[in-house]
Amino acid sequence: MLKRTLFFLFVVTSNFAFAQNVDSLTFVKAKWHQQKIAKKTKLITHHFDGKNLFLANQNISYIEVKNKGNAPLFAIGYEVKELKKTDVFGKEQQAIAAINGTFFDTKNGGSVDFIKANGTIINPNKLEKGNKRARHQQAAVVITKGKLALKKWDGTDKWEENLPEEEVMLSGPLLVFDQQDQALDTAAFNRLRHPRSAIGIKPNGRVILLTVDGRHENSAGMSLFELTKVMRWLGCTSAINLDGGGSTALWVSTAPENGIVNYPSDNKKWDHEGARKVANVILLKDKKNNKE
């Protein structure tokens, strides 16, 4: 009986390891479409349409920015109460690109997570019962002089208020930080597949703004465990989850139609029109259009 059990465990473990290896090879060997959209900035996309990534169809779109020299600058776009689509934020700010930001109040507008812009607090954290932080309030996207980085909560109450950066947006959970995968619990939000948005940073400082489409036969979406693998395969040593689901949208100013390059899910159609209105975004701007 013991031998059978050990053999079964060996087979399961071997099959799991094989599947992981197949997924990583499928990902790396994919013929990604690359398009330059600005100085030191590319839009990169691929549709895995053979149910060959995590045994599902997946559509991934991401922008990679060198984040140095004359590369475009990052900024936070926000509204205190009003909700707008990601492409509207981008167009109004004369941006090069934009990705939806952190979590927000869908009824009343405004972020439920701390946001600071140009040194001014725009939204405080809306804590859970017992003044407990949500997982998406335990990490931050920070921007100084247009350069983006990620930070991890240090456990103190006023951590975000004491961060010295000019612009701060809390989000999460963290997927990877300083080359270490971060612990994720088995809550439905983490383990079920949804459209996802994320930001990753490579060792050379390059920044990735990524969306994974979902809730459609053409793209299943990912769990946060799967998303962590994807960010790792892209070479990120730190990565953070943003608001996802119907909010997931990636906009590029030079793209056709409304500029949305992924397939947002809110209208339940496989087109570029289904983006949800959101309270905030991360913008990529030309230096001449970035007001510091």
Residue 48: how many other CB atoms lie within 10 Å = 20
The burial class, CB within 10 Å (0-12 / 13-18 / 19+), for 153 is: middle
With a cut of 90, say whether residue 262 has pLDDT above it: yes
Across 174-191, average pLDDT: 96
The burial class, CB within 10 Å (0-12 / 13-18 / 19+), for 15 is: exposed
DSSP for residue 253: T
- Tell me the C-alpha distance between 235 and 255, whole Å: 26
Helices (H) and strands (E) in the chain, counts: 5, 17
pLDDT for res 130? 81
- Tell me the C-alpha distance between 204 and 64, whole Å: 12
Tokens of 73: 């600058």
- pLDDT tens digits for range 43-89: 999 999 999 999 999 999 999 999 888 999 999 999 999 999 999 99
pTM: 0.92
288 or 104, higher pLDDT: 104
With a cut of 50, say whether residue 285 has pLDDT above it: yes
Question: Is 91 within 8 Å of 255 (Cβ atoms)?
Answer: no
